[in-house]
């Protein structure tokens, strides 16, 4: 695997804290332990596109009004969905 920023080969899978704005724009939340990539060359820590999509889909499909300001990735993904999938995503 190569770094998506600098294309170096020295990357490690890790977990990181990320901050996300809710789809309705009402607030932002802290997501701890999100699957991430850490590049040892450029020092960038980022989430792969598939993880970004997972988070965005989940935030779109769950009840966000009672969502905590801080949550782990696992807890977020375990929240019950209002719909089975994101029917408004036409990218696939």
Q: Which residue has the tokens 């209002």?
A: 82
pTM (predicted TM-score): 0.86
- Position 82 scores a pLDDT of 82
**In this predicted model, what pLDDT tens digit does every residue of 24-78 receive, in sequence order?**
898 999 999 999 999 999 999 999 999 999 999 999 999 998 899 999 999 999 9
C-alpha distances (whole Å) from 58 to each of 3, 64, 87 are 25, 10, 12
Tell me the β-bridge partners of 30. 19, 70
C-beta separation of 4 from 46 below 8 A: yes
Nearest partner of 45 among 8, 17, 7, judged by Cα: 17
């Amino acid at each position: 695997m190569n770094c998506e920023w600098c294309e170096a080969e020295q990357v490690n899978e890790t977990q990181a804290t990320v901050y996300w704005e809710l789809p309705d724009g009402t607030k932002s939340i802290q997501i701890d332990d999100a699957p991430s990539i850490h590049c040892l060359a450029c020092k960038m820590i980022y989430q792969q596109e598939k993880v970004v999509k997972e988070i965005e889909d989940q935030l779109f499909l769950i009840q966000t009004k009672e969502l905590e300001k801080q949550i782990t990735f696992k807890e977020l993904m375990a929240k019950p969905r209002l719909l089975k999938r994101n029917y408004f995503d036409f990218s696939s």
